[in-house]
């Protein structure tokens, strides 16, 4: 098995920054490209597109499979850039063929948020420029979106124009206010066991559908293939999200809308992050939701506040508790909208959690920072504590993405790699060396602080667009000077 991965080196001139951020980055690379890169089995090769010489990325310790959401998040966060062949295999590992031979995402018991794969697949193309990958990926996306439209309420005949089903990655019932039927949580831990959850609408899932339609449109335009109305569907769902989830009273987006139209003025970390990352929130909304976001001592929680059946002593597994996955997405959104201080805080918290716990755990107590798996179940024998699993890949790639997308401000499009850094005060100058981007090897140095570029030099030549062309070959150096006085 080969991975053909790239392990860049991150070096801060400040010793304390290096001991915290540099060391955590190195550990995250080992987690992704060492610990959690594994061979794949026959069950993962249902698409017929896997490269037998390359492994795949598993979800982490305790989870040998690459769930659709994990495969996508890890490719989007890091793997597509660091190990493109490994990322492609991991994305294909959650794809299958139907009885007629059409490619689609695996149809398992957790299908509501599977369209997140579209975001990862489009990002993979932008990073690699692999049109063969994109051709097959577009088939997967087109077929899967058609399936989801049949299965979930959406469209002009639906009252709200939103998709039903649980929220992103919250497969446990603890991620939702207590179900009103069937004795609370008496049907077990799976959120899909409860009709009032399945029939409701949630911010993160609908934000993902907006992103999926947007990415599907870009795929079609790039390939010169019919877009099947994806552009119009994206516009419609964005409008519906802002109509039904935006809450002027709280200055933020609500978490849920029940089937009868009752809004739940709760907060969802990934939902808020997605509105920033995907551009659903306009500038005023973004500033408002960032300033009004409710955070815990150790970071942005999954959902908030505690539901009545949970507490600080017994936090819900998908409730007021900290998942590094959520921290990473939130930090990505903050950096995109210029909140250097907020980005720095969330990144510092995750680095400290990793150092204090000795690894990349699945979940942490939001108040104490201790490793904590959380609780599910309402009372008595139904309520039990769950384990927080070790070596979680998306916890590690969350930190890698904090460095790549947040600190160095990396974004990708057909032109190439754009850099828009956010270097927090006190972190000191930093260099990322040995970074492979397509056919180029890059060494990028940031000096100063803040997020306003005073000068940008590629191989010593000044530039004004801050872009590394996709056609670049060979080894190159980039020097960026940041000037806080101009922010």
Share of the chain above pLDDT 70, in %: 94
206's tokens: 């609908």
- Nearest of 121, 111, 37, 106 to residue 73 by alpha carbon: 121
What does the pLDDT read at residue 485? 67
By mean pLDDT, which of 159-173, 289-303, 432-446 is the weakest?
159-173
Residue 333 has pLDDT above 80, yes or no: yes
- Taking the C-alpha atoms of residue 196 and residue 180, their distance in angstroms, rounded to an integer, is 7
What's the mean pLDDT in 220-243? 96
- Taking the C-alpha atoms of residue 430 and residue 422, their distance in angstroms, rounded to an integer, is 12
Q: What is the mean pLDDT of the chain?
A: 93
- Taking the C-alpha atoms of residue 267 and residue 416, their distance in angstroms, rounded to an integer, is 36
What does the pLDDT read at residue 362? 98
Phi, psi of 384 (to 5 degrees): -145, 155
What does the pLDDT read at residue 378? 64
What's the mean pLDDT in 257-269? 92
What does the pLDDT read at residue 154? 53
Q: What share of the chain is helix, strand, coil (3-state, %, to 5)?
A: 40, 20, 40
By mean pLDDT, which of 127-131, 151-155, 215-219, 462-466 is the weakest?
151-155
What does the pLDDT read at residue 486? 54
Phi, psi of 192 (to 5 degrees): -75, -5
Residue 274 has pLDDT above 80, yes or no: yes
Phi, psi of 8 (to 5 degrees): -65, 165
- Nearest of 192, 109, 188, 96 to residue 144 by alpha carbon: 96
263's tokens: 């809004």
What's the pLDDT tens digit per position in 97-106?
A: 999 999 999 9
List the beta bridge partners of residue 252: 247
- Taking the C-alpha atoms of residue 234 and residue 358, their distance in angstroms, rounded to an integer, is 42
By three-state DSSP, how is residue 227 classified?
coil
What's the mean pLDDT in 146-169? 80
3 state SS for 67-109: CHHHHHHHHHHHHHHHCHHHHHHHHHCCEEECCCCCEEECCCC
Strands 467-469 and 263-264: unpaired
- Taking the C-alpha atoms of residue 36 and residue 285, their distance in angstroms, rounded to an integer, is 38
pLDDT confidence band for 65 (50 / 70 / 90): confident
Unique residue bearing structure tokens 């999954």: 302
What does the pLDDT read at residue 4? 53
pLDDT confidence band for 155 (50 / 70 / 90): very low
- Taking the C-alpha atoms of residue 204 and residue 187, their distance in angstroms, rounded to an integer, is 24
Residue 157 has pLDDT above 70, yes or no: no
- Taking the C-alpha atoms of residue 204 and residue 406, their distance in angstroms, rounded to an integer, is 21
Regarding pTM above 0.75, the answer is: yes
Assess whether the previous peptide bond of 305 is cis (omega < 30° from 0).
yes
What does the pLDDT read at residue 2? 43
Phi, psi of 370 (to 5 degrees): -75, 155
By mean pLDDT, which of 169-183, 226-240, 362-376 is the weakest?
169-183
What's the mean pLDDT in 320-347? 98
What does the pLDDT read at residue 448? 97
- Taking the C-alpha atoms of residue 360 and residue 349, their distance in angstroms, rounded to an integer, is 13
Residue 457 has pLDDT above 70, yes or no: yes
What's the pLDDT tens digit per position in 401-453?
A: 999 999 999 999 999 999 999 999 999 999 999 999 999 999 999 999 999 99
What's the mean pLDDT in 168-175? 94
Strands 9-12 and 430-437: antiparallel
What's the pLDDT tens digit per position in 178-200?
A: 775 555 566 778 898 888 899 99
Residue 212 has pLDDT above 90, yes or no: yes
What does the pLDDT read at residue 150? 84
- Nearest of 158, 69, 67, 162 to residue 116 by alpha carbon: 69
Residue 211 has pLDDT above 90, yes or no: yes
């Amino acid at each position: 098995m080969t991975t053909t991965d790239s392990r860049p080196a991150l070096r801060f001139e400040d010793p304390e920054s290096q001991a915290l951020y540099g060391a955590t980055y190195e550990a995250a690379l080992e987690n992704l490209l060492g610990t959690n890169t594994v061979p794949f089995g026959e069950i993962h090769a249902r698409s017929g597109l896997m490269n037998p010489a390359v492994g795949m990325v598993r979800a982490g310790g305790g989870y040998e499979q690459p769930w659709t959401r994990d495969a996508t998040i890890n490719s989007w966060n890091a793997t597509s850039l660091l190990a493109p062949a490994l990322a492609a295999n991991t994305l294909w590992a959650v794809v299958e063929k139907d009885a007629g031979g059409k490619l689609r995402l695996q149809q398992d018991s957790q299908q509501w948020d599977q369209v997140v794969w579209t975001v990862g697949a489009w990002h993979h193309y932008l990073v690699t420029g692999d049109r063969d990958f994109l051709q097959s990926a577009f088939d997967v996306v087109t077929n899967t979106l058609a399936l989801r439209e049949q299965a979930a309420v959406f469209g002009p005949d639906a009252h709200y124009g939103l998709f039903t089903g649980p929220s992103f990655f919250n497969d446990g019932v603890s991620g939702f206010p207590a179900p009103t039927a069937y004795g609370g949580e008496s049907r077990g831990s799976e959120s899909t066991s409860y009709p009032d959850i399945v029939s409701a609408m949630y911010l993160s899932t609908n934000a993902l559908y907006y992103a999926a339609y947007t990415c599907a449109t870009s795929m079609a335009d790039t390939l010169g293939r019919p877009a099947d109305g994806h552009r119009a569907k994206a516009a419609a769902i964005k409008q519906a999200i802002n109509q039904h989830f935006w809450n002027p009273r709280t200055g933020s987006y609500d978490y849920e809308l029940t089937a009868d139209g009752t809004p739940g003025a709760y907060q969802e970390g990934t939902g808020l992050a997605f509105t920033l990352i995907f551009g659903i929130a306009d500038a005023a909304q973004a500033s408002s939701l960032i300033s009004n976001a409710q955070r815990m001592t150790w970071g942005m929680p999954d959902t908030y506040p505690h539901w009545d059946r949970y507490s600080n002593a017994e936090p819900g597994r998908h409730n007021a508790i900290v998942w590094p996955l959520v921290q990473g997405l939130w930090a990505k959104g903050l950096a995109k909208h210029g909140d250097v201080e907020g980005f720095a805080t969330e990144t510092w918290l995750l680095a400290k959690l990793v150092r204090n716990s000795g690894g990349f755990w699945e979940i942490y107590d939001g108040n104490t920072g201790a490793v904590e798996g959380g609780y599910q179940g309402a009372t008595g024998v139904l309520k039990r504590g769950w384990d927080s699993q070790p070596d979680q890949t998306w916890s590690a790639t969350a930190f890698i993405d904090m460095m790549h997308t947040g600190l160095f401000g990396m974004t990708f499009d057909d032109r190439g790699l754009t850099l828009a850094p956010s270097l927090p005060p006190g972190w000191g100058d930093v260099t990322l060396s040995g970074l492979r981007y397509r056919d180029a090897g890059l060494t990028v140095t940031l000096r100063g602080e803040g997020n306003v570029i005073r000068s940008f030099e590629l191989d010593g030549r000044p530039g004004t667009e801050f872009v590394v062309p996709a056609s670049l070959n060979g080894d190159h150096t980039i020097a960026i000077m940041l000037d806080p006085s101009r922010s």
